A and B are shown apart, each in its own frame.
Chain A
Amino acid sequence: MNKLVKLIITSISAITLALVSFTSSFAKVDGEYIVLGSAISLTGKYSSNGVHTQNGYNMAVDRINKMGGVEVQGKKYKFEIIYYDDESNPKRAAQLAERLIKQDGVHYMLGPYSSGLTKAIAPVTEKYKIPMVEANGASRSLFTKGYKYLFAVLSPANQYLEVAIDLAVEKNGGKGVKIAQAFEQDAFSQDVRLGILDAAKRTGSEIIIDDKLPKELNDMAATLAKVKAVKPDVLVVSGHTKGALTAIRQISEMKVDVPMLAMTHCDAAKLSKQHGKKSEFALCASQWHKNLSYKDKFFGSGKKYAKDFQKEFGYDPPYQSAESSAALLVFKDAFERANSFDRDAVRDALVDTEMQTFYGNIKFGPGGQNVAKPMILFQVRCKGDDCENRVVAPTKWASDKFYHPIPKWSDRS
């Protein structure tokens, strides 16, 4: 009797175990669904941009599924994403990546939000040879480690503000300029800084202030007082949304006159909404703008994307959402070209990607970064209290002339 019970228990557990391993080994494609995994910051300090990222992913999944899905070996499949909340914590993100791969059997990953978290996840996906298309990790160091399974649809961080320096030099009659810069001490901002250093060297410009802002800092008065004293031709600030908001607040309050001000994260910071007219003439680096003329058959143009996004989520899409949507288009394209669910075949297809999306052209360099899409610069311009971002560089897409130099505070009403 006792033996019988044991036998039954053993066989039940054996069957359960077999079932579990059966389901997980096929979870990459579950019935008609291709399952993607993503750890994303839904809580914690990156939660607003995490949500932008998730909305971008979801929007693209819905659109692709509605328009026929992904065709592999003559059969139509749909996308499905398993999300976990990484709490904006790199350690947690790495754990969740393991969990997605080992427990949920995910074979294809979408990136998290921010360079820091992508850096935490990349070694995991690399270890298990899982292709990851990411849309929100721009740090240059991601692309110099020789990762083979990492693909980024966005331009690397060092390109963010290089264009601004070129622009300043151009306005200075081709001669080098005096640059004052303040960058937060994190992977992303420091990469932006490296880009400026390169540009300065290339153009024969001189860096006269080079401040590094600690993460906790929300006061830049000292840096700005120095800027007032040494009068540079261009002031460059990068410190995520806090840096952008602090800079504009204190520049306007301290009446710091600089001919040119270039920053990052203006649209994520809702700069023109929070600071209104005070933010006018700020130049901002952006991965994408809805007025660019790129097109694809899923979202049409950038303007159409912005309209649809607004309808679905109730706000204008920041570039974080647009690039996240583009990541799904890249995956679809790769699956169809690979015509297989074999991870390495998909990875090889990703390597050969060369396509245009509403977000921009996408072609991956040897490190996995997107080399086909330039960064753009927009300038905040206001009519009365109504401010908007207008593209000023590169000239191909410029909807407006670059306003230079910024008028003095004493002349601004």
Chain B
Amino acid sequence: MDFLIFKAPMLMVQASLDGILLGILFALIAYGMALQWGVMNIINIAQGDLVILGGYIAYTIYLWGIHPAWGVIISPIIMFFVGWGLYKLVINKVVDRDLFISILATFGIAIVFQQLMNFIFGADVVVAQSEYGTTMLFDNSVTLPNSKIFSAFISVLYAVALVIYMKKSRLGRAIRATAQNARAAKILGVDTEKVYAATFGINAALCGIAGALISITLTLHPYVGLPYTVRSFMIVIVAGLGNLPAVAVSGMGLGLFEEFADYILGTEFRIGAVFLLLVLILVYRRFKLSKKREYLK
């Protein structure tokens, strides 16, 4: 236990800002998970690996000499088709089966993706440089990398755009209808097969954006996907499936929780604390998490 943070108010500010900025990024990943979980009733264990793949796409364009920030546009486009292809190849076979089958299938996908990324991009840890500089507050005692601010801003932008798209567009309405009642939607002429494929594609695209942002704020490695899966899983079960503002709030909450756990319990318990919180929440929500599909607002 270390209470340094309570002695230095600036550390508190730093930790809170770091936590919130990171949390917004987590929330974006979690939003994708909530979307396809709600619509297709699939828990995607490969979520984190899709994020990392998106990051590698941004890193690749960075190697070509293009600024990695363009990754937030290019990466989701490519990832949408990756997601779509993945649906046609694997997910459509498990979409109406029980939850356990989908967990197994996506777990398999996660392993395949890790090995493929290792094969294609190598096992080295890589970073893309945004050269965005740093914002200094309170006489240089609180420093915020502009890349983190950029990533939070882009996350919010995309999340808002997606909400509007879901409300206004034809496909968005079809997705929401399918989430509410797939059979009824089908009877009313919605091509649910297409809706599922699009949903999985949109989820992968969101992962692609998050990955591109991670490539300029943190580091990439083929095997670091799992912590992102766990975090988004946690955010979703706290927030519930159909509740986007709750996803945002619980994402930021998780970011804050991690930062403070790091300061108070020690860095070694940072990820451990997340897992512990996950167990506690799962126990708490055991009865609430019924099998029925919730609908997306």
A, B: real partners: yes
Q: Please report A residues at the B interface, Cβ cutoff 8 Å.
A: 43-49, 88, 182, 185, 211-214, 216-223, 225-226, 228-230, 240-242, 245-246, 249-250, 253-255, 269-270, 274-276, 410
Interfacial chain A residues near B271, Cβ < 8 Å: 214, 216-217
Q: Can you sample 8 A-B contacts with CB below 8 Å? A: A43-B118, A211-B267, A218-B219, A225-B14, A226-B4, A241-B125, A255-B143, A270-B124
| Interface residue range, chain B | 35 or more
> In whole angstroms, how far apart are the Cα atoms of A136 and B156 in the complex?
46
Interfacial chain B residues near A185, Cβ < 8 Å: 268
> In whole angstroms, how far apart are the Cα atoms of A185 and B284 in the complex?
31
- Whether B218 sits at the interface, judged by CB under 8 Å, is yes
- Whether B259 sits at the interface, judged by CB under 8 Å, is yes
CB nearest to A223 among chain B residues: B267
Q: How far is the CB of B54 from chain A (nearest CB, A)?
A: 15
Q: Do the beta carbons of A222 and B267 come within 8 Å of each other?
A: yes
CB nearest to B263 among chain A residues: A222
Q: How far is the CB of B179 from chain A (nearest CB, A)?
A: 32
Given contacts A213-B268, A226-B11, contact A45 B118 (CB under 8 A): yes
Q: Do the beta carbons of A216 and B224 come within 8 Å of each other?
A: yes
- Whether B10 sits at the interface, judged by CB under 8 Å, is yes
Q: Do the beta carbons of B270 and A253 come within 8 Å of each other?
A: no
- Whether B122 sits at the interface, judged by CB under 8 Å, is yes
Q: Do the beta carbons of A249 and B127 come within 8 Å of each other?
A: yes
CB nearest to A241 among chain B residues: B125
> In whole angstroms, how far apart are the Cα atoms of A284 and B193 in the complex?
55
Q: Do the beta carbons of A214 and B267 come within 8 Å of each other?
A: yes
CB nearest to A409 among chain B residues: B134
Given contacts A46-B123, A47-B122, A255-B134, contact A217 B11 (CB under 8 A): no
Q: Do the beta carbons of B127 and A226 come within 8 Å of each other?
A: no
Residue among A48, A217, A245, A250 making CB contact with B270, cutoff 8 Å: A217
Q: Which of A214, A220, A276 has the most CB of B within 10 A?
A: A214
Residue among A45, A222, A246, A269 making CB contact with B218, cutoff 8 Å: A246
Interfacial chain B residues near A45, Cβ < 8 Å: 118, 123, 221-223
Interfacial chain A residues near B287, Cβ < 8 Å: none
Q: Do the beta carbons of A254 and B123 come within 8 Å of each other?
A: no
> In whole angstroms, how far apart are the Cα atoms of A255 and B138 in the complex?
14
Within 8 A of A (CB), among B188-221: 218-219, 221
> In whole angstroms, how far apart are the Cα atoms of A241 and B268 in the complex?
18
CB nearest to A87 among chain B residues: B115
Q: Please report B residues at the A interface, Cβ cutoff 8 Å.
A: 4, 8, 10-11, 14-15, 18, 22, 115, 118-119, 122-127, 129, 134, 136, 140-141, 143, 145, 147, 218-219, 221-224, 226-227, 259, 262-263, 266-268, 270-272
> In whole angstroms, how far apart are the Cα atoms of A276 and B127 in the complex?
12
Q: How far is the CB of A106 from chain B (nearest CB, A)?
A: 26
Interfacial chain A residues near B226, Cβ < 8 Å: 216
Q: Do the beta carbons of A226 and B263 come within 8 Å of each other?
A: yes
Given contacts A221-B18, A226-B4, contact A212 B266 (CB under 8 A): yes
Interfacial chain A residues near B129, Cβ < 8 Å: 275-276
Q: Do the beta carbons of B119 and A222 come within 8 Å of each other?
A: no
Q: How far is the CB of B228 from chain A (nearest CB, A)?
A: 10
Residue among A226, A245, A253, A269 making CB contact with B145, cutoff 8 Å: A253
Given contacts A182-B267, A246-B218, A246-B219, contact A214 B123 (CB under 8 A): no
> In whole angstroms, how far apart are the Cα atoms of A229 and B271 in the complex?
23
Interfacial chain A residues near B22, Cβ < 8 Å: 219
Q: How far is the CB of A90 from chain B (nearest CB, A)?
A: 15
> In whole angstroms, how far apart are the Cα atoms of A182 and B127 in the complex?
20
> In whole angstroms, how far apart are the Cα atoms of A45 and B14 in the complex?
33
Q: Give the 8 A-B residue pairs with the shortest CB-CB distance, closest first.
A: A253-B145, A212-B268, A222-B262, A211-B267, A47-B123, A254-B143, A242-B125, A218-B219
